[in-house]
Structure 1
Amino acid sequence: MKQLFFFLAIAVFSFGPLKADRPNIVLILSDDQAWSDYGFMGHADIETPNLDRLAKQSLVFERGYVSAPLCRPSLATLVTGLYPQQHGITGNDVDGYNQRAALDKPLRDSFHKHSSIIRELTAAGYLTHQSGKWWEGSWEDGGFTDGMTHGDPKRGGRHGDAGLAIGRKGMKPVTDFVDHAVEEQKPFFLWYAPFLPHTPHTPPQRLLDKYSAPDRAEDVARYYAMCEWFDETCGQLLGHLEEKNVAENTLVFYVCDNGWAAPSTNADDPNQELWKGYAQRSKSSPYENGIRTPVMISWPGKVAPQRSADFAHTIDFYPTVAKAAGLEVPSHLPGLDLLSADARAGRDRVFGVTHSTHNMTLGDPDDTLQYLWCVEDQWKLIVRYDGKDTTKYKALHVWDKEPVRLYNVKSDPNEQNDVAEKHPEVVARLKQSIEDWRADLWTPSRKNQ
């Protein structure tokens, strides 16, 4: 009997809580989808029955935010729990496209020096799988035990490469991984980040026919169809968890990397230029359609389904998952455990940044910084960054006059009315909050973590 207790103690010391106490963890990460474009968020036309069902089983944060409105820095925040100016991934490329292969490696090497929730889960005995979007090298580079992305620039490795087939070309790699983990009787972590509903918008014809209408632009119809196609793949994944009888002990975390809107939705506005095939006040912008996302956490028997008015943020993924898995949460992380109502109650505002989409500078994240933003209750302040001459990194969402804009995002969620001149005291308070936040990021306890 003493020997039994000895081996049990060794297991707990080595791997945290025993296997039965540790949930499987599934991250579902949609790609380029506006915060409003789901059935459970009230969209009038887009149907997402599988995510709607998940929402009914989840703690739902309708006011979730990303650290940056662009896929690579947004995903890097999920992995590290840090803001872009801390982990160093501020855009999609180093020096545009010209020297990507040569210059990206030192940036990745610097990024991988930060603590990672993926490596922590792997070290704790989890089987971990990468599929879909993944920018930082191969799945091995990311610390996964298995995966799809090779990350080899000589073979066109970038932002997911072979992993981008997941969802669009079936679900077998991830369902096989779940089957393997069940056979091995080990807890698992699944990074499911399909290239959906991201362009190219090539949905099944049946879905395109469903959303096509005489009064609807084709780019909008294609996007709507892609949103439902993504939802169908989520249903396949969640259904497989149920078939394998592991859904009851699986924490599902849902979030989107950044927003998106079809180009035709702002084509009638002469002040809004189109960029890379999406509307300007969406992806890569500091507006709600760029930075806002619903966040859902489902954990049967552990998390009561409800809608929360509290803020959620992508910096919270690491501490939330680490806590649920029984791991130590690094003290330098700025996020909080979203499953703690007390922790959420202590947060009254959230922050983030917008950088140039390209031309990252290793060791100088402010070099391409364009905007900083803060949301507090109904107020949202956007501040244009004027710290450097950034003319070669032209701001895609620039305005000509005032360096700040203030919106009441509860009464004006589409941010049509700048009320900065009417509320100078709010502007001053939130601007100071942004300055304090930036200073706090570089305190000794957080610097170089």
Structure 2
Amino acid sequence: MAFASGSRADRPNIVLVVADDQGWGDVGYQGHPVLKTPHLDEAARSGLRFERFYAQAPVCSPTRATLLTGRHPNRMGVFTWGYPIRPQEITLAKLLREAGYATGHFGKWHLGSVYRASPVHPGRMGFERWVSSPNFFDNNPIFSDEGTAVPFQGESSVVTVQVALEWIRKQAEAGRPFFAMICFGSPHAPHQAAEEDRALYLDQPPALREFYGEITGIDRAFGMLRQALAELGIRENTILWYTSDNGALPKVGSTGGFRGNKGQIYEGGLLVPTFLEWPAKIRTPRVTRVRCCSADIFPTILEIVGIEPPANLPLDGISLVPVIEGKWERRPVPLGFWHYPAPGISTPSAKWMAELLAAQQKGEDLPPDGPSQRAGQLPDPPYPSDQFPGHAAWIEGDWKLHRIETAKGKIRWELYNLEEDPAESTDRAAEEPERLGAMQKRLEAWLRSVVQSLNGADYAGLGESPSLPESKSR
């Protein structure tokens, strides 16, 4: 199955759709007893469905940084929600744009300020067209249209797709390959469903009506997107990749029975609904149980398009082309996770965007927040390379090792066989000392590598980040 082509006309379009807080079981196709997601279900049945796809982190911003770079978020200091991406990072959007793709970001950003002067707004990170929100958003949102606050009316996910489709249609008409990253603000709390979506769940408790309604809103928007790609005649050679940024919310979300929730790196906090449609190459629907993760999307797209990964930047993902081709039954390399115990950075989207709108209506503008302004600064003093606080995990084959380091430096280890014990209920560390010791060494070697990146070692010799024009592709 040959992917890369020298012909610009043959290169696939790429649409990456990211939900916000949608867990593994928060879809109809995983057997949810109440949720109605017919469009997501149909897409999962039609393409390649990933049964064991891991978000790179159990919260939002870190996974989004990984989706753009193929690197663990701690390598660039995106420890948890609200942390900005470093401007030194080489993103998928930058590389695709240099290769001739139109690039657009629509919806939730959450990797820094979306104000005009931000050093890390989507435009600075490779997106030539962007209509974005600093964090999650509800119905009738105010988006930053390349730095200008613009109010929109409608259900939040539908609005996001409508804005994206306006741009996609222009690229299709121009015959230009495109990369669109469409990021919903749902089903992040607080939940606020549109009336038509809420009406499907009137027999449910009030909180679930809103939560389920938001997911059905996502489904409606996704259906609009799929239909539009077909009507434009580009669906055949468009990679449509759907995923989420972390595992299920407690109380309202569904992990499908896996242990843990959002904020934890047990399976329930990391496993997310993911599938890929690409009719030109995936003609027979399939389900894969190969363990894959957010970091794999970056190298997969690069291989498909024929772009070399950036030199000197360690990647934590691998190309999934062999999975797309049906050649792998098991992942050949380990998966690493590390949830660093840093406090989140408040990013109140509705408040900030209302303030920006008010300022711009008076002919003024606002500066980005402090963390965004300092996004490129490296740690001083550097982080120690022999301490790894928080919760880390390492998956090799069906074995998952947990390393939990407390604030006082005490370390606890847990070991589970995920094939026999997917709920991570029986710790096998005491009965597998040889396996435990070998996995401990490999996990800690990887953690040291992450700390080296965190301290800036990867940026030496890279020079300036590629300069991209600010031209628009409206």
CA distance 1:380–1:142, change in 2 (3 Å): same
Using the size of structure 1 for normalisation, the TM-score is 0.76
Determine the structure 2 residue equivalent to 1:351. Answer: 336
Q: Deviations over 1:41-96 (max 9, x none)?
A: 232322221111111222222111122111111100111111122222112246xx
Determine the structure 2 residue equivalent to 1:241. Answer: 229
Q: Which amino acid letter does the alignment assign opposite residue 237 of structure 2?
A: N
1:212 CA drift (Å): 4.2
Aligned partner of 1:204 among 176, 194, 208: 194
**Mapped pair 1:34 → 2:23:** yes
Aligned partner of 1:409 among 413, 418, 433: 418
Contact 1:223 1:262 in 2 (8 A): no
Determine the structure 2 residue equivalent to 1:333. Answer: 315
Aligned partner of 1:121 among 96, 99, 120: 96
Using the size of structure 2 for normalisation, the TM-score is 0.73
Alignment partners' CA distance in 2, 1:66 and 1:290: 8
Higher mean C-alpha deviation, range 364-373 or range 21-30: 364-373
Alignment partners' CA distance in 2, 1:314 and 1:384: 22
CA distance 1:203–1:129, change in 2 (3 Å): same
Aligned partner of 2:49 among 60, 82, 88: 60
Alignment partners' CA distance in 1, 2:143 and 2:167: 25
Q: Deviations over 1:168-211 (max 9, x none)?
A: 54632111111110121101111011101212211123433433
**Mapped pair 1:47 → 2:36:** yes
Q: Deviations over 1:281-338 (max 9, x none)?
A: 3112112221112332221121343111211111111111111222222354232111
Q: Deviations over 1:352-404 (max 9, x none)?
A: 11123536895356788411012234432221124x658xxxxxxxxxx9712
Superposed, 1:40-439 pairs within 5 Å as 40-93=29-82, 108=85, 111-134=86-109, 135-136=111-112, 137-149=120-132, 167-169=157-159, 171-213=161-203, 217-263=205-251, 281-304=260-283, 305-331=285-311, 332-341=314-323, 345=330, 347-356=332-341, 358=343, 363=379, 369-386=389-406, 389=408, 403-439=412-448
Alignment partners' CA distance in 2, 1:90 and 1:430: 23
Q: SS state of the match for residue 337, structure 1?
A: coil
Alignment partners' CA distance in 2, 1:346 and 1:312: 7
Alignment partners' CA distance in 1, 2:151 and 2:60: 15
Q: SS state of the match for residue 232, structure 1?
A: helix
Higher mean C-alpha deviation, range 315-324 or range 200-209: 200-209
Aligned length: 391
CA distance 1:413–1:44, change in 2 (3 Å): farther
Contact 1:92 1:357 in 2 (8 A): no
CA distance 1:122–1:170, change in 2 (3 Å): closer
Q: SS state of the match for residue 120, structure 1?
A: helix
4+ residue segments displaced more than 6 Å: 160-165, 365-368
Higher mean C-alpha deviation, range 282-291 or range 133-142: 133-142
- Select the structure that is richer in helix: 1
CA distance 1:443–1:142, change in 2 (3 Å): closer
Alignment partners' CA distance in 2, 1:80 and 1:441: 14
CA distance 1:138–1:381, change in 2 (3 Å): same
Structure 2 residue runs of 5 or longer lacking an equivalent are 113-119, 136-141, 346-376, 460-474
Higher mean C-alpha deviation, range 136-145 or range 419-428: 419-428
CA distance 1:281–1:178, change in 2 (3 Å): same
Q: Which amino acid letter does the alignment assign opposite residue 82 of structure 1?
A: R
Higher mean C-alpha deviation, range 404-413 or range 249-258: 404-413
Determine what percentage of the aligned residue pairs are the same residue. 27
Contact 1:203 1:226 in 2 (8 A): yes
CA distance 1:235–1:217, change in 2 (3 Å): same
Q: Which amino acid letter does the alignment assign opposite residue 311 of structure 1?
A: R
Alignment partners' CA distance in 2, 1:327 and 1:163: 37
Higher mean C-alpha deviation, range 249-258 or range 427-436: 427-436
CA distance 1:163–1:309, change in 2 (3 Å): farther
Q: Which amino acid letter does the alignment assign opposite residue 259 of structure 1?
A: G
Alignment partners' CA distance in 1, 2:188 and 2:267: 18
Q: Deviations over 1:104-145 (max 9, x none)?
A: xxx64xx12121110111111111111111123423122111
Over aligned residue pairs, what C-alpha RMSD do you find? Answer: 3.5
